Amino acid sequence: MAVVPGLFGITHSNRDFSLKDTWGKNQFNSSFPAALACYLYSKELKAVYYKTDSSMQTVIEHIGIEDLYKADPLGDDTYFAFETQFTPFQKYVLGSIPRNDLVIMNGTQSVSSLEIKLTALPDNPTCDFSEDAYGSEIVIRPDTIIYLACAFIYACNDDRNVLQSILQDAGNAVIDWTSASCVLPHLYDIYQAIKRLVSISASFQSPVVMEPVWKTRGKSPQLANDCLDVFVWSNCGLLNLFMPSEQDFISVGTVKTLDKISRHTRTMIWLFKMLKDYADTGHFNGSKIIDELSYNTKNDKAFSSNGLRTHPIMACPELTHPRITKGEIKNIILGGGQNLLSPERRFDAIIYNSPDLFKEDFL
């Protein structure tokens, strides 16, 4: 019988791993992490889970992959739907809800939805530090904020009245949401409203982003022996990647505000506006909010946070020494699937990995 390329645990899926096109960079970056999580489950390991307490302080726990997927990761009824809409959240959103990286289905029912961010450890700002100070850069898409808003609405049991009581009158005085000058005086109220939301919903957190990491030996292209692990961000935990702190606010007259609307601040505004619109009307238009509330910054991404910001939040034994070794990759990529990969060819990477070019006798 011919050996068929595949990935561990991904038996039922909308991707055909016998086809080379399925192993392209964009597909592999979500397919492999899904399989890696299944592999963790098979070894009776849990993913590291970043949550917060009611005061928005980071809490590090662990989450079983069966709880992350809300299904048996290796079950016959489990279906991996990549780049698929999570239809249970459609009722919150005007227009079509965006596709998410991974939707887990149990039979015909969509049970969980995750954005997947496969990240390198360490990133450039932390690559010269000691191993226990390595950090990774995470880039979050605008569509993820739509799913983040939905997760908070779900935590409030879809109840507009509950959400209104939490948000109170924050944002009501904003005359023009597309104008930075109109929004800046109200940023502290928005910040406080989201903090109140966390204080109420901290007991009902749900995973929204799965961040597997692959670790190298410093900045080199060589994998570290302890090279793979899975980290997960809850809806509350993700806030600590972009929300300002109390110390970031400055006083301008009698108003507390920030000096500008950065990508991180804009993400906070997007989230708040989505939640406020739902509280006011019972739905929100996420795509319109993202398009119109740009504040003269491209909206190709919501925000990015490099290792200098992520490490203090993520620091744990699993980040210093990921639990899956490079020797186990062959247990995850199956049937010669590695031969179907199509890695990017980058000129700077080729030069960096060709030191002979700079020898005096090289011709």
Before 122, cis peptide (omega within 30)? yes
Please report the pLDDT score of residue 362 as a whole number.
Answer: 55
Whether 245 is in a domain gets the answer: yes
- Give pLDDT, residue 342: 81
Q: Which two tokens stand for residue 250?
A: 């400055």
Residue pair 201/236 in contact by the 8 Å Cβ criterion: yes
Q: How far is it, in rounded angstroms, from Cα 53 to Cα 198?
A: 8
pLDDT bracket for residue 255 (50, 70, 90): confident
Range of the domain at 305: 47-327
pLDDT at 22 over 90: yes
Confidence at residue 93, expressed as pLDDT on a 0 to 100 scale? 97
pLDDT confidence band for 220 (50 / 70 / 90): confident
The pLDDT score that the predictor gives to residue 123 is 95
8-state DSSP, 293: -
Residue 70 has pLDDT above 60, yes or no: yes
Nearest to 143, CA basis, from 332, 339, 286, 288: 286
Query: What is the per-residue pLDDT for 312?
Result: 96
Q: Cβ(147)–Cβ(115) under 8 Å?
A: yes
Per-residue model confidence (pLDDT) at position 60? 98
Comparison of pLDDT for 143 and 219, the residue scoring more: 143
What integer is the mean pLDDT of 203-217? 96
Q: Looking at residues 48-52, what average pLDDT do you find? A: 98
Q: Tell me the pLDDT tens digit for each residue of 280-325.
A: 999 999 999 999 999 999 889 999 999 999 999 999 999 999 999 9
The least confident of 115-124, 263-272, 336-345 is 336-345
At residue 361, the pLDDT reads 65
pLDDT at 214 over 60: yes
Predicted confidence at residue 25, as pLDDT, reads 82
Q: How confident is the model at residue 343 (pLDDT cuts 50, 70, 90)?
A: confident
What residues have CB less than 8 Å from 339, skipping those under 6 apart? Answer: 5
For 27, 56, 117, 336, 339, the CA distances from 343, given in Å and listed in that order, are: 12, 39, 17, 15, 11
355 found inside a domain: no
Residue 33: inside a domain, yes or no? no
Q: Using pLDDT thresholds of 50, 70 and 90, give the confidence band for residue 363.
A: low
Q: Is 5 part of a structural domain of the chain?
A: no
**Percent of the chain at pLDDT above 70?**
96
174: confidence class by pLDDT, cuts 50, 70, 90:
very high
Question: pLDDT class for 40, splitting at 50, 70, 90?
Answer: very high
State the virtual CA torsion across 341, 347, 117, 285 in degrees, nearest 10: -110
Structure confidence at residue 53 (pLDDT): 96
Contact 47, 63 (CB under 8 A): yes
100 assigned to some structural domain: yes
Which pLDDT value is given to residue 103?
Answer: 98
pLDDT, tens only, 178-190: 999 999 999 999 9
Residue 29, domain member (yes or no): no
Q: How confident is the model at residue 5 (pLDDT cuts 50, 70, 90)?
A: very high
Domain count, the chain: 1
Average pLDDT across the chain, whole number: 94
Is 273 domain-assigned?
yes
77 is a domain residue: yes
User: In the 8-state DSSP scheme, what is residue 298?
Assistant: -
pLDDT band at residue 35, thresholds of 50, 70 and 90? very high
Q: Is the pLDDT of residue 1 over 60?
A: no
pLDDT higher than threshold 70 for residue 111:
yes
- 236 has a pLDDT exceeding 80: yes
Distance (Å, whole) CA 288 – CA 267: 14
Residue 225: other Cβ atoms inside 10 A: 12
* pTM for the whole structure: 0.94
CB 234 within 8 A of CB 207: yes
134 — pLDDT class (breaks 50, 70, 90) = very high
Taking 80 as the threshold, does the pLDDT of residue 153 lie above it?
yes
